[in-house]
Structure 1
Amino acid sequence: MARDGRLGVGIIGAGHVGPVIGAALAGAGHRLIGITAGSDPDRVEAVLPGVAVLDADELVRQSQLVVVAVPSEQLAGLVEGLAEVGAWQPGQLVMHTDPAFGTAVLEPALRGGAIPLAVHPAISFTGTTLDLRQLQAAYAAVTGPPMVLPIAQALAVELGCEPVVIAEDDRPAYAEAISTASAFARSIVGQATGILRGIGVENPGGYLSALVSSTFERALREPVGE
């Protein structure tokens, strides 16, 4: 780790989450080593202008903090594959962003001497710089071994989030809560906008924006059962 606390950061995953996490950490003063290739290089360039594109194993070997932001079904295999080629480095921080997993999924990196962390910012990522503003009002679920949990909490704060510790065994329940809230919101809003569109209301999403925002805000603040 750098003496001044600033880290060389490598991002594995160029979808909606990875580039935004990289931009937030760069904004906190960390140095971006690079990112793996993705299917939308123009969007990544807009969020991380001038960022180097590197293979995952080379990126890991050069980074002090590796952020793994890939789909759930790819996470375990990716971490194991990098272990098989000896990419993980002793003392290196490895942080994934998946809500469903704690740090057990990073065990292959731990075998290589890396320090495992799990940090999930609870926002719906668009993959654009608009997400940086969302992070400033968000919470983040953090999981890690007790001795290094403060590092996970500090990284969440540097992303702009308020950290909330979630136990390893509670990550599946946490992921269920996140999935339920996200699916419900999309379903209800989609149904309502469809009805308004059907009766000729132009821009039904804009029409409902203030109503939906205020209703959700009230629901989130009201005590359960009232």
Structure 2
Amino acid sequence: MNSPMTPARLRVGIVSAGRVGTALGGALAAVGHDVVAVTARSVQSQARAATRLPSARLLDIPGVVSQAQLLILAVPDTELSEVIAQVADAQPRPGTIVLHTAGAYGANILAPLAELGAVTMAVHPAMTFVGTSDDTVRVASSCFGITAVDEIGEAIAAALVLEMGGTPVRIAESDRTLYHASLAHGANNLIALISDALTALTVAIEGPTGEHRNTATVDGPDSGLAQRILGPLVRASLENVLDMGPAALTGPVARDDAATVARHLDALAALPDAGVVDGYRALSLRAAGQSAAGEELRDLLEKQS
């Protein structure tokens, strides 16, 4: 028997069996909910559903809607409006809980379903998923941005997140875009930054044409050497900034060392990909603005190459 603090077991339907959908489905199944149906268009999604959500039937959207007490719309932002329209056409039963996982939207986009009597909410995991069983573990360490149109929806969203082991964080409807932008800037743009750094470091180790590849280490060739060098430094820097904020900044910008930064710009400008030096310049300028950098360094970084 469920206590007042334990949500009832729900029949869960998921649109679709992508990384997010299967991660949340797996997490809900692990705490006793019944994942009964899922959409999966691609062969890869079908295989993922069979492995990760073995009790779920593969159905189309109307079929999933007909089976679900809790309906999860785990589709890309660009597809969400069209999927909502298809769900509305399928006429979900009044009282069906419908949540979407898109970071950039709140609950208002689900208005067509609320008008049909659904209980609607936005429940976005602030986490990146890779499509394996490790994703279910990641859910339990995630914060979720939740937005609902009323206190009932907010309470249901929070209860579901807490059940999965996550932490619910209320985000106002008007702040969803800013919330999403901050996550994209911190996580997605981090990938662009590290990719650029690895590009430059690989050239520094191997030479522009790979002529030093066989003598890069005393142990012989190592195709992952750039990652081995950069990885510990990046991880330590990430932990430091999360703990200390901008005060964690070290290096030539923090030291107001314009001469070294100028040499960096020259070296990066020689790379075939001009975007690397452009990214360095832009981020160094932001770092200069967060520190006590002098006018000479700021002028150097503001100057167009």
Match status 1:102 vs 2:106? yes
Specify the alignment match of 1:8 in structure 2.
11
> For residue 66 of structure 2, what is the aligned residue in structure 1?
61
Residue identity over aligned pairs, in percent, reads 33
Is 178-187 or 93-102 further displaced after alignment?
178-187
Instruction: Write the deviation string for residues 174-203 of structure 1: whole angstroms up to 9, x where unpaired.
Output: 111111112321011111222233324521
Cα distance between partner residues in 2 of 1:38 and 1:14:
8
Matched to 2:166, the amino acid is C
Alignment of 1:17 with 2:20, yes or no, is: yes
**Count of residue pairs the alignment pairs up:** 224
How far does the alpha carbon of each residue in 1:38-82 deviate from its partner, in whole angstroms, 9 at most, with x for none? 321223323223531111111111110000000111111111222
- Conserved in 2, the CA contact under 8 Å of 1:15 and 1:38? no
Aligned to 2:180: 175
**Aligned equivalents of 1:110 and 1:17: distance in 2?**
23
Question: Distance in 2 between the 1:208 and 1:46 partners?
Answer: 35
Q: Which moved more, 1:164-173 or 1:183-192?
A: 183-192
Instruction: Please provide the CA RMSD for this pair.
Output: 2.0
Per the alignment, residue 29 of structure 1 pairs with 32
Tell me the CA shift for residue 142 of structure 1.
0.7
Compute the displacement of 1:225 (Å): 6.1
Specify the alignment match of 1:128 in structure 2.
132
Q: Which runs of 5+ in 2 are unaligned?
A: 207-221, 249-305
User: Structure 1 residue 207: deviation in Å?
Assistant: 4.1
Please list, as runs of the form range in 1=range in 2, the aligned pairs for 1:1-226 lying within 5 A after superposition.
5-39=8-42, 40=44, 41-86=46-91, 88-144=92-148, 145-198=150-203, 199-200=205-206, 202-203=223-224, 204-223=226-245
SS of the residue aligned with 2:94? coil
Q: Distance in 2 between matches of 1:192 and 1:223?
A: 21
Q: Distance in 1 between matches of 2:166 and 2:90?
A: 34
Shift of 1:36: 0.3
Instruction: Indicate the SS of the match to 1:17.
Output: helix
Q: Which is greater in Rg?
A: 2
Aligned-partner residue type, residue 176 of structure 2: R
Q: How far is 1:125 from its partner?
A: 1.4
Shift of 1:134: 1.9
Query: Following TM superposition, by how much is the alpha carbon of 1:215 offset from its aligned partner in structure 2, in angstroms?
Result: 1.4
- 5+ long unaligned stretches in structure 1: none
State how far apart, in whole Å, the 1-side matches of 2:154 and 2:123 are.
Answer: 10
Shift of 1:115: 0.2
- Which protein has greater RCO, CA pairs closer than 8 Å, 6+ apart? 1
Pair 70,195 (structure 1): closer, same or farther in 2 beyond 3 Å: same
TM (norm. structure 2) is 0.69
Deviations 1:194-218 (A, max 9, x none): 2233324521334433322221121
